Chains A and B, each alone.
Chain A
Amino acid sequence: GENVEQHPSTLSVQEGDSAVIKCTYSDSASNYFPWYKQELGKRPQLIIDIRSNVGEKKDQRIAVTLNKTAKHFSLHITETQPEDSAVYFCAASKNSGTYKYIFGTGTRLKVLA
């Protein structure tokens, strides 16, 4: 069935370093890839998304890259700060009429001060 694999499950970086989280999807018809940030006990919040007609999108310190051939997409956070510490989820969906998301299992990012 449809699947999204996310790696790593935990990631620790020093403040100011970069962090990269990778997701691989199985359904080649997927065409929309959002990333969510979830702080402990709170709602997931959309931080960036990308559609399959572009290969990269950037918003300040956050960027997402998409490789449709390899069926993977990555979240890049530069100049990490302690407030970036959270769990990050990737997801994939397609124009199937339902627009359901298939979520990755999450990455717990710890930014060490």
Chain B
Amino acid sequence: DGGITQSPKYLFRKEGQNVTLSCEQNLNHDAMYWYRQDPGQGLRLIYYSQIVNDFQKGDIAEGYSVSREKKESFPLTVTSAQKNPTAFYLCASSQMYSNQPQHFGDGTRLSIL
């Protein structure tokens, strides 16, 4: 879906380093989500946000942090506390009424140097 942009496409993290993944949407969606996908596995929810300046932990929030200062933007920081960060990270957004579909960005592949 062209309305969600994730950057960068590939990212490398050094030991002890924090890195930030960008997610921007122009769909005017209220809700935004971050998922982690490991090879051959499903999508696990890291954090989600339903409104500006508010967000909630998902199932695997440890070692990650987020912010929601603008409706359009929901960046994810992978901190040095996340000991196994190598994965494919997907951002999604949706409307916030009556179960609307989530639309995904193209993802960021994070690897450790």
Contact = CB atoms under 8 A, between A and B. Distances in A.
Interface residues of B, number: 28
B106 A104 contact: no
Nearest to A102: B45
B37 to A, nearest CB: 9
Interface residues of A, number: 25
Contacts of B86: none
A60 B55 CA distance: 38
Given A31-B99, A99-B31, A42 B42 contact: no
Nearest to A106: B42
Contacts of B101: 34, 46, 49
B64 interface: no
Nearest to A99: B99
A44 B104 contact: yes
B48 interface: yes
Interface string B37-59: 00011111100101000001010
B107 A101 contact: no
A45 B104 contact: yes
Nearest to A9: B40
Contact of B42 (A31, A98, A104): A104
6 contacts: A34-B101, A95-B98, A99-B94, A99-B96, A99-B99, A100-B33
The 7 tightest CB contacts between A and B, nearest first, are: A32-B99, A43-B104, A105-B42, A103-B42, A103-B43, A46-B101, A44-B104
